[in-house]
Amino acid sequence: MIARTGLNRIRTGLKDFTTSNLWKRSRPILFSVAVIAFAVLWFAPILWIISISFRPNSVAALYPVTWIPDPATLENYETILLHPSRGVNIVRSFGISAFVCTAVVLGVLLVSTPAAYAFARLKFRGRNVLFWLIVATLALPVQMFIVPVYVILDRFELVNKLAALILPPIGPAFALFVLRQFMLAVSTETEDAARLDGCNQLQVLVYVVVPQIRPALVSVALITFLNNWNDFLWPLIVIYDRDIYPLTLALNDVRSAYHFTFEAGTVMASFVVAVIPVVVLFYFAKNYLIRGISLTGTGSTM
């Protein structure tokens, strides 16, 4: 009887220890290993760029690759930031890009927020058709708009001015779509209560709706900033005065000025400087960004 009970327990244990159960138990571990492996592969080029930026130019491009710079130096950053030469001024271009991107972000939020509120709350003929026509432009390649936008800017004599970098990106369909979806999830009861307290439409938007869609606003602001910070094609077309070059065009000049003299460390230092604002912004806004993207269109807010 005792032996039979022991055999039954062994059989029960063997049934529990099936392939499917083993896969279920090992899947989180395998997933973590895969994520770490992909993270290492993704971060390796960035680590290599940072490493080269701290090496003297005389040994910057030597092989085999060494990940820890020896000797380490700051001369490349001093060259880029403190002693600009060869017609390249990274600090000035850095400030121009920061100003342009900040202006674009403010313009997008000021234009898209009330427009999204209109599509989410106001009743007018053709509202849905017009909204989805605007959203449909997201499927069109950006290159389609280059010539007509350039012609318009040229008619108003805005080519080769900072306004040519600030005005065209304002009012993107992406921002309108994200903000409208969040506003649809905001309870209309709080808005009705605000109106009963004497608030007009603008006050309802500013004091009731905007605080509840903060994740969406931060997400739109961050994505808009990154898109304009990294944009190279449009500035290359509309800006030809080096005194108002944004950072992307200045980095191209750095590559041309220093790469062919085998000063790879200086080139990589300029790239690291350009990445710092993006990393800082993402670090402080990552929670809002993830929340904003994950909740878009789900009918949820905070």
Asked if the model's pLDDT at residue 72 lies above 60, the reply is: yes
Asked if 52 and 73 count as a contact pair (C-beta separation under 8 A), the reply is no
When pLDDT is averaged across residues 48-55 and rounded to a whole number, the result is 87
The C-alpha atoms of residue 252 and residue 235 are separated, in whole angstroms, by 12
Asked if 94 and 273 count as a contact pair (C-beta separation under 8 A), the reply is yes
> Residue ranges of the alpha helices (H) in 54-172?
75-81, 90-121, 127-136, 146-155, 163-166
pLDDT at 182: 87
**Segment 76-134, tens digit of pLDDT:** 888 888 877 766 888 899 999 999 999 999 999 999 999 999 999 888 888 889 999 99
The C-alpha atoms of residue 267 and residue 29 are separated, in whole angstroms, by 40
Cα atoms found within 13 Å of the Cα of residue 203, Cβ hemisphere only: 9
**Segment 8-26, tens digit of pLDDT:** 555 555 455 555 566 677 7
**Which pLDDT band holds residue 166 (cuts at 50, 70, 90)?**
very high
When pLDDT is averaged across residues 56-85 and rounded to a whole number, the result is 79
**Model confidence, pTM:** 0.81
**Segment 179-223, tens digit of pLDDT:** 998 888 888 888 888 888 888 888 888 888 998 888 889 889 999
Sorted by where each begins, the domain ranges of the chain are 2-79, 85-295
Q: How would DSSP label each residue in 146-215?
A: HHHHHHHHHHTT-TTSTHHHHSTTSS-HHHHHHHHHHHHTS-HHHHHHHHHTT--HHHHIIIIIHHHTHH
CATH homologous superfamily of 85-295: MetI-like (1.10.3720.10)
Helix (H, G, I), strand (E, B) or coil at 228: helix
Asked if the model's pLDDT at residue 301 lies above 50, the reply is: no
Structural tokens at position 301: 């807010």
pLDDT at 300: 46
